[in-house]
Each structure stands twice: as structure tokens, then as C-alpha cells.
Amino acid sequence: MIKFLAVLIFTLIISSCSGISYQQVYPLLKQATVGAPDFIVTQEFINKKKFSFIKARFGKGRPVIMVLAGVDDSNIFQWISAKGEMLYTLNGKVIRSYGLPFNISYLRNVSPVFNTPGLIKTPLKLMNPNAYVTNNLLTTSEGIETLNFINPIKVKKYIIRSTINELNWSKENIYYLDLNTNYVIKTTQYLHPNLPKLEIEFYFKFS
């Protein structure tokens, strides 16, 4: 909304000699007010993809497809977008990022502990600007639900409350664990105090 205001006011203040065309202004104002359109991943779309991928979306932004670039010995998945942004996930939790306006890196490879919910304290590096904080992750189990993915899937919902006391910052992150595969297939997470909510859907292609 603020971006919308900024564009609008500066567009009004600056005079008409600029030749700014409606075709240029309209999509910009639309994205600033109602957000970018979402898209639904269909079975056909999945079939066309060679590799596992995720659909990631920050706030009302445009959803981005990121493909699986690799899995290391620690079971950390590396996902990469067409523009080079990277997310590293461990059991569905983003533990490192590159190429975002604000990035993070957990100093230890912290995995959500779904079997024994409880509190984990872990050091976290926030970037742009750089700062080291302690993230307190409190996991609670919420029971079993049916998630309408491509087909209805039985999932167990977990909530991990992420709290950084130094910043008086606390957010609720949600994980949906597929009971058949034991993989997180959907999550909403807050990575960084300056980033909006990140929603990820995981589409694994097991070979």
C-alpha cells in the first residue's frame, strides 16, 4: 500500500511531460493494491516438471517455482528459482536463503523436531543488515487434518512459534506433515523480521 502511495504521489507531483503510459502504471498499481495473482499447481503441471519443485510465495507477491537443485548428506534440500534465488530446507524448514532482499542463515542445521515437540534455542544470522540473534523455536502438535493438495491428503499439523527476544519478535510458523511419506508438503513461515510470510508447497517427484 505504501508503495502504491509513493508511486501515486510522486506520479502526481511530477508533471505530465514524462509520457508515463497507462499500460505501465496499471499493472504496477494493481500489484501494489491487490497483489500478484496466485496460480494453482495442477497434475498436468507436475507431470511436465522433470524434478521435484516448490511453489514459494512471499506475502501477496508473485508465486515462484523453485526446482530441486540438490540434496546433501544432511538431507538439506537446495531449491533454486529461475532468477537465482535459493532456499535451503531441512524437513520443510528454511534454514538458509540467498538472493532475497533479506536473507537468513541458521548457524546450526536446525530441523523441526516433530516427534518430540518442545523448545529449541538456536543461533540465527540475519542479513541486510547483519545481526546475530537467538531464535527460540517452540513446537506444538495440532492434530491430523485433510489437506486439499492435488488430491486430499492426510496430514499432521505442527505449529512452531519462532521467537527472537532481542527484537521482541514472535511469529507462528505452520507445517503440514504428509502422514504417508513423512515429508512436509506445505508450510507457512516467517524467515526474517523484514520479510512477509512465506508460503511453500512442496511437490516431490520420487524416482
> Which residue lies nearer to other proteins by CB, 39 or 132?
132
> Which residue lies nearer to other proteins by CB, 24 or 180?
24
How many whole angstroms from its chain centre is CA 166?
A: 23
Q: Is 124 exposed, middle or buried (0-12, 13-18, 19+ CB in 10 A)?
A: buried
User: Which of 94, 104, 110, 126 touches other proteins (CB under 8 A)?
Assistant: 126
Q: Does 34 bind other proteins (CB under 8 A)?
A: no
**CB neighbour list of residue 193: distance below 8 Å, 6 or more residues apart:** 126, 164, 167, 169
How much helix, strand and coil, in percent to the nearest 5, is found in the chain?
Answer: 20, 45, 35
CB of 124 to other proteins, least distance (A): 12
Q: Does 195 bind other proteins (CB under 8 A)?
A: no
**CB neighbour list of residue 151: distance below 8 Å, 6 or more residues apart:** none
Fill in the amino acid letter for 161: R
Q: Does 167 bind other proteins (CB under 8 A)?
A: yes
Q: Does 20 bind other proteins (CB under 8 A)?
A: yes
8 Å CB contact between 87 and 66: yes
CB of 56 to other proteins, least distance (A): 16
User: Which of 168, 180, 206, 207 touches other proteins (CB under 8 A)?
Assistant: 168
8 Å CB contact between 143 and 158: no
> Which residue lies nearer to other proteins by CB, 61 or 117?
61
Q: Does 115 bind other proteins (CB under 8 A)?
A: no
User: Which of 36, 46, 120, 133 touches other proteins (CB under 8 A)?
Assistant: 133
What's the start-to-end Cα distance of the chain, in Å? 44
Q: Does 130 bind other proteins (CB under 8 A)?
A: yes
Q: Does 101 bind other proteins (CB under 8 A)?
A: yes
Binding site for other proteins (CB under 8 A): 2-3, 5-7, 9-22, 24-25, 28, 83, 101, 126, 129-133, 166-169, 193-194
